[in-house]
Structure 1
Amino acid sequence: MASDPFNHPNSSSSSFMLVGVPSLEAFPTCLGILFCSGYIIALVGNGVVLLVIGLDNSLRDPIHCFLGMLAIIDVVMVTSIVPKMLSVLWLKSTEIGYMACFVQMFFVHSTTSEESGVLLAMAVDRYVAICHPLRYQAILNRQTIAQIGLAIVVRALLFMVPLTGMVTNLPYCRSRVVPHSYCEHMAVAKLACADPRPSGLYSVAGSSLIVGMDMAFIAVSYGMILKTVLGKKSCLKAFSTCGCHICVMLLYYVPGIVSIYTQQFSSGISMHAQVLLADLYLTLPTMLNPIVYSMRTKQIRQAVLKMLFSRKVHA
């Protein structure tokens, strides 16, 4: 009897099958329209942010660099999952290659770590700008920004390279069907015919450490900002800005950490709810980030209007 190529973890001929959203397969059109609309909004919003930052030489402050980083990460994150998800929902193209699955897994989970790092960097930027305005340029100079960006990427790699190695080295000899809309780590690891718990525990511990530390520092930064502006004329504006930022962060962090824990530990949450939750924390913030962080920034709003107005004039 010929050996099954799927038994070998490094077989290039093997593949996985993505379900989409379990138990909601009867609604592919509605789900597809929902995610396609979100994808287009995310691409347009983040694309506009990157375009104006790239074209307008006045947008070179540290916060603009961080907003550019955030936009790039959002585009990579949402592009990693939505196109394939739409092919599953609309074209019934459920198959994804072995290596393609793990590449998708790497990009999805590394960008979530990078996104968290950039959100922390932006919170620190706002803290320095409001609490130490005279030292802002000195503290957050180009070298510091480059080091922060490098640290964000290196941290994501240090987290994901071992995790990817652990999952790819598992032998897959059971069902190839992934009960998810993308190659989520635990959804794939549970298909292995070896114990997936070491990689699962590593993922939960690493994610909890990254999210816990970032949320703690973000909370401290915003707390010190509010303490500084309390009783001043800028207090109301600061409350409004911080409130919007915190709401979007909660939409990212809360579904994300709940998704990680429900995937790892048995819970009463249905499978389709778990998958939708995982999809939510990857797609919704990518739509909202350009509006909440970038378009609420006066300089970027003016740059967008300037770009649109100059195009109309030249037309």
Structure 2
Amino acid sequence: MAGRWSARRHTCGQPIPTSRPQVNEIAGISENNEVVFSAALGFQLTALRGQLEGQGLDGLTYAGTDALDATGIQFEANNEGIVHTPHVSITAGDRVDTLLADYEAAKGEALESRGFMPLYVDSMFLGIQGILDCGCADPAGIGDAVKQISGFEGLSGEITYAGTNGIPPKAVPINRIVDGEDVLVATIGAGWEGGAVSAAPSGLDVEAVLAADLSDCADAPSGDPIRVGMAMDFSDVVGFVDIPGSKVVPYVAELINCAGGINGSPVEVRVAEVGDDAALATQESCWTGVPIS
């Protein structure tokens, strides 16, 4: 694309009722054919776009990060053509879409922050696999076991920690809003082959969990509970958008228990959305089981 690449960092969590300095700066240099990249939230970027269009700049392309998907860019007005990089590109009828539809049917609430949901669920799954692999409840031992995970087929895709610096390699989807739909247009790193596939973790059957029907559950598991504590820090966006990991994770724990639990043991999950309170984050995430932040 011809033109320049204009980058501007906005502070997440701060509303942009007016971006006059940025608008004036861009209007002063724009040839109306550039890409405007922003790390703003969905409603912030569409507000900025509206102000730029008010200056006659209607030929710009807008691109952003996972913050757009997390804050429901697909539900925003004036979102046509916006490009973003979600953690997971969700298509109609796939596992994530089905899980979110089932959640809506069970709980009577649609989750607008969709792409983050598989990450929360996989955090719980990985913690459980770590517990199973190490046969322990010691956070350090569980953490060491997670570091050895390779080829784990999670909700968000294949996950490998073994042989990495602690960041699993991952293909990056590029989505664009086309005719009001959030559409995958490209994938960076799609040829990555992943690691060796791990042996199936004893008692954890992800497909069975996702297929569980809360209206028709197996006998309630009665073994010693597997407890998972998760702390989620969304201090940047508190008050502006709901990123409801604290809703979907307990729901998936219900599905696990509906499917019979893990080796006959129920899963108990405790989620804290802790904002800026680091002490509370430590307290909540170290509730028995595995700390995951």
What is the TM-score with the length of structure 1 in the denominator?
0.27
Higher strand share: 2
Higher helix share: 1
Higher RCO (Cα < 8 Å, 6 or more apart) = 1
